[in-house]
Amino acid sequence: MNLMRLLRGDTDAPEWYDFPGGVHPPENKTQSLRGPIAEFPLQEEYVVPLNQHIGAVSVPVVEVGESVLTGQVIAEAAGFISAPAHAPTSGTVTAIEDRPVPHPSGLTTGCIIIRADGHDTWRPRTPWAHLQDHHHTDLLARIQNAGLTGLGGASFPTAVKLAADRNHVDTLIVNGTECEPYITADHALMRERPQQILRGIEVAHELYDFRRILIGVEDNKPDAVSALRRALTAIPAELEARIELRVFPTRYPSGGEKQLVYLLTGQEVPAGGLPTDLGMLCHNVGTLAALADAVFDDRPLISRITTLTGNQLPWQGNIEVRLGTDIRTILDWAGYQPDPNRAERIIMGGPMMGFALDQRQLPLVKATNCLLVPTEQELPTPPPAKPCIRCGQCEQVCPAGLLPQQLMWFAQSHEWDKAESHHLFDCIECGACAYVCPSHIPLVQYYRFAKGSIRREQAEHRQSERARLRFEARQARLEREAAEKEARRRQRAEAARARQAEQATTPTADSSPADPVAAAVARSKARKQASQSAAGRATATVSPGAPELTREQLSARLDSQRRRLEKAEAKLAAAAPEHQKAMETTVSKLREQIHKTEQQLADRPEREA
Amino acid sequence: MLTPSSPHAVGNQSVQQVMFSVWAATLPGFAALIWFFGWGYLINAVLAVATALVAEAIILRLRRRPVWFFLGDGSALLTAWLLALALPPLAPWWIPVIGTLAAIVFAKHLYGGLGNNPFNPAMVGYAVLLISFPVEMTTRWGIPAALATEAHSLLDSARVIFAGLRVDPALVDGMTMATPLDVYKNDIATLDAAELRAEPLFSAGWRVYGWEWVSGLYLLGGLYLLWRRIITWHIPVAVLGSLTLLALLFSWNPDLRVPVDLHLLGGATMLGAFFIATDPVSAATSNRGKLVFGAGIGILIYVIRTWGNYPDAVAFAVLLMNFAAPLIDHYTRPRVYGEGRS
């Protein structure tokens, strides 16, 4: 709670709640806000990655050589948490292949490459004038098909968020905070197209009928605030009455989802939970504007606003650019001249949470809110790390209330259980701790390392647990099979004894009914037979009359087959997940073979008897 | 290509700056010490700092660490400096030297160097000296300039420090005495408060007594560190608060025990509260933990001063709470966002 407010005796619900921690890095926003959003020219080639969102990689639905129109679906969502991709312009699909994409891993991903025809011909579109004319399921389908993802940077599929339980959600939080230094994409959008954001809010409201809609903006964007205020006067009163525009002091990371929820409502998202647990939905202003485009104009997400900034760029500002545009082309357009005397540093995102690209020839993706090319003077390379002096500055600025230095010690000494019990996974990696660290320790790196190691260990543990279960299941099955075999053998023995007894008694009865010796011999033979098989000797000959050679051959084959099965099963238990499928087929084939041999073996005495 | 990890922006604070700021914040108090008690403090400081830098360089070389990288962080300098401020100004020269060696070699580097020492190195040095050389550590405090029968030069101080009693016992006697806390504690057994306050050491008030000026300027330096956000308020407030509370409770009768003003201003309390106890390496880390840690120090200072054998007790109080810091940290973890509330 805000102490000053309490001291003043101000007991009304406050405009905003003070979250702990946070830092004030230089904002550096003005240089990219000098002009309006510029339309980036159409290019000859576009590279559309299939994984521009969190979730399953989308599946291409076009073929090489196929002509596509602007806005046409070229890859479909694969599963619930996924999003489709669209052709950013009309042209021809020239390749579907792996290309490097902007990702911290530097790995390549499947991409659809489109050569533009220069006409930018749209697919047929069906704009909607009024939401009320359409059914909710149609509305949701339209959102689902538009390929929307959170444009604030995390790229979570919007349709998935909007599928949250309608009865449970009553508040919409609109994130216009943009607390990262340098980035002004949302700022420019709020300044120039506030009505588009409000139309997006209208769409979400149509789905949820929110009780209240809170728009949060930092106080370093007065022009955006006044633009929003003006736009608010032009919307239906019913909606306007539910909207509150809240302006709060600038402090990083107030735009973090959890921080913003607290700032605006005084409520905390439970650890490991989501805002929907509090009945809230949180959307970025850029996402909402894209939502309006998709629903009203039938314009899927094929472009976004990206900030070009950093003093290595002669032109700094915001561009509206088609997804899939080559980042190198964009930087060249902005007049970028690489400095041959120093290593290149191009950051996607802001200076606090963005990541450095390992090359320039990469496609711009849905998550690219900013391309920052700083000079060494602007963002100096951090000096070598010194030992931690436990000064506690990191703890003072941690917005999650963690003990960053303790987490670092635990990460250093690989004490994962302690790191977890100190809430490592509540860390939002905002970088405030590393920003203030006087020893310049790359703290966030330590946390990522620890999180990665813990996740890997958990995966390994799950795998070994699976292997154990498989092994135990196999043991149980082997025992069961042995028992079944034993039971079958006993049955056959019984049958054979009965037959033998029949054979032995019938002739005696026929020739001389009073031959007690022969009868006794036959009985004793039968008893012997029965006791032999009851003793369970595996080699017991069920039928003495059976030819020895064939049976031996069969059982030898059976033995070797069993040995092979055992080996194969052991291999399966130890197999890497990618080989499991193949091993499983082998094992089941072997089992079939064994079953066949066993049957042959079981059939043989009867047929030959 | 460089692919460093986020954050790409770093703040402008560095370990060096932190150390330098703390050092700078002691300067007004240091100047007052020299003003009131003579040049001995300067000689102490030079001896201690020189010893610290040499010892640190040698041990870094032995440990095969980059010497200049670590020597330049200023931590050894600060440790030696704080120790020098705490030592009697006219003690023999080997007192600061031995104390600094104990601090740098044993308390700091044998535990792994900067950031790894569980105990405050300066206070370890002080404790080693106080236990090993109790006479030198209690009798060689400076007489406030106004009480001295004659003015003493830098040379006189140097003679007392380097040659000591062998040169001129009368000079040593003329320049040294026990601390006011010590004097009050011992003499209150035989005198009452009014008589004691009439003694020259206490009677001349603000202009003579000296210690309250020094303490006041340390307080000022501490406020500067608070303003610079190099320390947080928790430890100093807890130390001073708990000490004041206990002094008000148990020392309400100045005829029996050392009164509260002397507790706060008459000894090393301010230096301890703002510069010693706030050493982050050996203190508790969370804000609540710092409150517990500081309160423990304040309580121990009062207890040792009142019922123990030592007239000033900051060093032992800090060291004892250093022991407890990991335990305090364990039980005072801050509440994490989203935990325990819904």
Residues B106 and B44 in one domain: yes
Q: What confidence tier does A179 reach under pLDDT thresholds 50, 70, 90?
A: very high
Residues B22 and B169 in one domain: yes
Q: Is the pLDDT of residue A444 over 80?
A: yes
Q: What is the pLDDT of residue B165?
A: 64
A-chain residues near B338 (CB < 8 A): 258, 268-273, 426
Residues B22 and B127 in one domain: yes
Residues B64 and B151 in one domain: yes
Q: What is the pLDDT of residue A5?
A: 58
Residues of B with CB under 8 A from a CB of A: 1-11, 13-15, 17-18, 69-70, 73, 75, 113-116, 229-230, 232, 280-281, 283, 285-287, 290, 329, 333-339, 341-342
Say whether A493 sits in a helix, a strand or coil: helix
Q: What confidence tier does B270 reach under pLDDT thresholds 50, 70, 90?
A: very high
Q: What is the ipTM of this complex?
A: 0.84
Q: What is the pLDDT of residue A609?
A: 41
Higher pLDDT, A272 or A181: A181
pLDDT digits (tens, 9 = 90+) for B183-235: 888 888 888 878 877 777 776 554 446 888 899 999 999 999 999 989 999 99
Contact A429 B1 (CB under 8 A): no
d(CA B24, CA A41): 57
d(CA A150, CA A286): 8
| Cβ burial A460-477 (10 Å sphere, 16+ → b, else e) | eeeeeeeeeebeeebeee
Give the pair of three-digit tokens for residue A343: 């290593």
Question: How many domains are there within chain B?
Answer: 2
Q: What is the pLDDT of residue A436?
A: 94
Site of tokens 């380097």: B162
Q: How, if at all, do strands A280-284 and A171-176 pair?
A: parallel
Report yes or no on B285 lying in a domain. yes
Contact A278 B334 (CB under 8 A): no
Q: What is the pLDDT of residue A413?
A: 93
A442 close contact with B: CB closer than 8 A: yes
Q: Is the pLDDT of residue B342 over 60?
A: no
Q: Quick one: closest CA in A to B75, which residue?
A: A389
Range ranked top by mean pLDDT from A421-435, A503-517, B160-174: A421-435
H-run or E-run covering A116? strand A108-116
Domain with B33 in it:
14-177
Say whether A187 sits in a helix, a strand or coil: helix
Give yes or no for a contact between A300 and A294, defined as CB atoms under 8 angstroms apart: yes
Q: What confidence tier does A546 reach under pLDDT thresholds 50, 70, 90?
A: very low
Could you say which residues from 211 to 250 on chain A have a Cβ atom under 8 Å away from some Cβ of chain B? none
Residues B234 and B164 in one domain: no
Give me the mean pLDDT over the B241-258 stretch.
90
| Cβ burial B55-91 (10 Å sphere, 16+ → b, else e) | bbeebbeeeeeeeeebbebbbbbbbbbbbbbbbbbbb
Report yes or no on B338 lying in a domain. no
Residues B34 and B150 in one domain: yes
Higher pLDDT, A552 or A590: A590
A339 close contact with B: CB closer than 8 A: no
Higher pLDDT, A156 or B186: A156
Q: Is the pLDDT of residue A513 over 60?
A: no
Q: How, if at all, do strands A303-309 and A370-372 pair?
A: parallel
Give yes or no for a contact between B270 and B215, defined as CB atoms under 8 angstroms apart: yes
- Position A120: which residue type? D
| Cβ burial B322-332 (10 Å sphere, 16+ → b, else e) | beebeebbeeb
Q: Is the pLDDT of residue A69 over 70?
A: yes
Site of tokens 């706030």: B278
Angle among Cα A270, A275, A277 to the nearest 5 degrees reads: 65
Give yes or no for a contact between B181 and B110, defined as CB atoms under 8 angstroms apart: no
Q: What is the pLDDT of residue B281?
A: 92
Q: Would you list the domain boundaries of chain A?
A: 1-31+127-298, 547-609
pLDDT digits (tens, 9 = 90+) for B89-140: 988 999 999 999 999 999 999 999 998 999 999 999 999 999 999 988 888 8
Residues B217 and B173 in one domain: no
Report yes or no on B206 lying in a domain. no
Report yes or no on B83 lying in a domain. yes
Residues B242 and B149 in one domain: no
Q: Is the pLDDT of residue B142 over 70?
A: yes
Residues B169 and B34 in one domain: yes
Provide the number of CB pairs (under 8 Å) joining chain A to chain B.
Answer: 167
Q: What is the pLDDT of residue B256?
A: 83
d(CA B323, CA B126): 16
Of B46, B55, B50, the residue nearest B108 (C-alpha)? B55
On average, the pLDDT of chain A sits at 87
Give me the mean pLDDT over the B7-12 stretch.
86
d(CA A371, CA A329): 12
Q: Is the pLDDT of residue A366 over 60?
A: yes
d(CA A189, CA A191): 5
- CATH class, domain A1-31+127-298, is alpha beta
Report yes or no on B135 lying in a domain. yes
Q: What is the pLDDT of residue A540?
A: 42
Q: What is the pLDDT of residue B293?
A: 97
- The secondary structure of residue A63, as a DSSP letter, is -
Residues B70 and B145 in one domain: yes
Q: Is the pLDDT of residue B2 over 50?
A: no
Distances (CA, A) of A48 to A117, A157, A274, A321: 16, 17, 30, 13
pLDDT digits (tens, 9 = 90+) for A285-342: 999 999 999 999 999 999 999 999 999 999 999 999 999 999 999 999 999 998 888 8
Q: Which of A277, A384, A390 sits opposite B285 (nearest CB)?
A: A390
Of A605, A604, A586, the residue nearest A596 (C-alpha)? A604
Q: What is the pLDDT of residue B1?
A: 41
What is the signed CA dihedral for A411, A412, A416, A422, rounded to 10 degrees? -50
d(CA A451, CA A453): 5
Report yes or no on B159 lying in a domain. yes
Residues in the annotated binding site of A for [4Fe-4S] cluster: 388, 391, 394, 398, 427, 430, 433, 437
Residues B168 and B284 in one domain: no
